[in-house]
Chain A
């Protein structure tokens, strides 16, 4: 009964209702949209990290620390053959290149050219007839002003500390969102790097394939996906918090509109409240009626938001959102396109948030009705 009455009253309020519903539905759609984009970005960043860099985890030499460049020199070792099944070996060394007379410090990565685990196009290293073919990412190519087919002088030290130098040829430039395999990174054949550095059979780390069975090996430590993605997830979380400020502000504006409408309604509709009581409604029923009326704004907002939001979400899920080149302003690298992910949890969570918060702000001013003297209400005398 109260729902029917509340709907009638809302319908009767006309434009006032539709303005509130409009703002609330906009907040509702924006909340889902922003969260959907962040979810999509999160999924994309994690998938890219898995596909380009971390696979199913890393087994790395205990002396190696990815955050400490000084650990590169000694952070390598030889893993017994019996232990390296379903692992892609990578040897990491430091080097310098000299593009157009400039000196650029780089990390030199030697990788098994037959690997298929990572998306790195190592097949180009296989196909090249050059002495030292290398593949680099688009960021590296841009910063060193290199393009496919270019040769550049590279200098490195072997395991005995002796400097050596040779020209490397850019066999290919790959496009990835994962900066850690791109910026300042050069990828060459593992076999070649081992020979260049006199580190036969040595490896800095192994990237685990899907079927890799983790086991303890002295001198090596295994980092699983969760451990390796910890920082990425923390950055996405920070992004989510900063975005939530935007939508909470929007939601606050919409809720303020409801609160305002309720305060005005309770004041303006005193006679009506008195009449409800004189007709036999209990005060909790009248409070309930006004609360339902206010919170029904959110139900209407969900319906209205659904009308224009669902086609928008479907379109974006299908076509994605194009990101302008170089728009790496989220603190993380983004692809050319982000495909938002609108899960059931996100939609239901947002619906609950909007309905619960609008019910609370509707209830707060309506509580005043419970204390009203019906005689004064009928006379419209309450200030």
Chain B
């Protein structure tokens, strides 16, 4: 892992309007993530994990403070600039996979590369390589409705990884998987983290995920309770 800081959060606070008052989802968060980290935001529901992930992913912006991702201040980005940041540097994995039902596995994975205007040959090579990483190259022509939960999440990982992002944000990626599939998915992610030096940032309260993390940031009521570096417990 090199020491390049690619995510820097300085006094990040996020408030939402609720009725006549405000709800504080995040309060004075200060964090930094280096390239190649395999870290997780852990905590109970409502602790602010997903909100923080969305800010880092430039889907949302802080009410106060600064979120610098890949050297760019999220609050200062235009819609187009934040779309470019997501397109080239950030991959997302969602709890419910969010695959496009009308596209095949290949087309789902290919989507980000089409947005990057890659040639058909480049796209094909990258997609097949990506499907190979997650072990579902033989399912390229299947529709998502024909896949099991584990296979669906592998497609989501392949879709996120195909563009070789610097940061991969995974929101409860194992919540809908059984233990066997969850471990298989996590092992795949860990291997990709090692091989491609991609920064993985999870939002989770799943013990299985926590077992794979190198760093755990415990959130409670929108505040950091503990930022913990974990010695390797599991080897891939």
**A residues within 8 Å of B by Cβ?**
1, 5, 8-9, 11-13, 271-272, 274-275, 277-283, 285, 373-375, 378
Contact = CB atoms under 8 A, between A and B. Distances in A.
A8 B98 contact: no
Contacts of A274: 59, 98
A9 B107 CA distance: 12
Interface string B86-113: 1110001010101011110001000110
Interface string B66-87: 0000000000000110011011
A279 B54 contact: no
Query: Which of A9, A12, A373, A374 lies at the interface centre, i.e. has the most chain B CB atoms within 10 A of its CB?
Result: A374
Given A11-B102, A12-B101, A12-B102, A279 B59 contact: no
B114 interface: yes
A280 B84 contact: yes
Interface range, B side = 20 to 34
B62 interface: no
Nearest to B97: A275
A278 B102 contact: no
A8 B84 contact: no
**Interface residues of A, dominant DSSP:** helix
Contacts of B59: 274, 277-278, 374-375, 378
A274 B114 CA distance: 17
Interface of B: 54, 57, 59-60, 79-80, 83-84, 86-88, 92, 94, 96, 98, 100-103, 107, 111-112, 114-116, 159
Given A8-B107, A12-B101, A378 B94 contact: yes
Contacts of A9: 102
Contact of B98 (A5, A12, A283, A378): A378
A378 B54 CA distance: 11
B115 A281 contact: yes
Nearest to B112: A279
A280 B87 contact: yes
A279 B87 contact: yes
Nearest to B156: A275
Nearest to A379: B50
B111 A279 contact: yes
Given A279-B86, A280-B115, A375 B60 contact: yes
Contact of B54 (A12, A275, A375): A375
A280 B88 contact: yes
Nearest to B81: A282
A279 B92 CA distance: 7
A278 B80 contact: no
A13 to B, nearest CB: 8
Contacts of B107: 8
B167 to A, nearest CB: 13
Nearest to B101: A12
B103 A281 contact: no
Contacts of B80: 282
A349 to B, nearest CB: 34
B102 A281 contact: no
Nearest to B96: A271
Contacts of B88: 280
Nearest to A4: B114
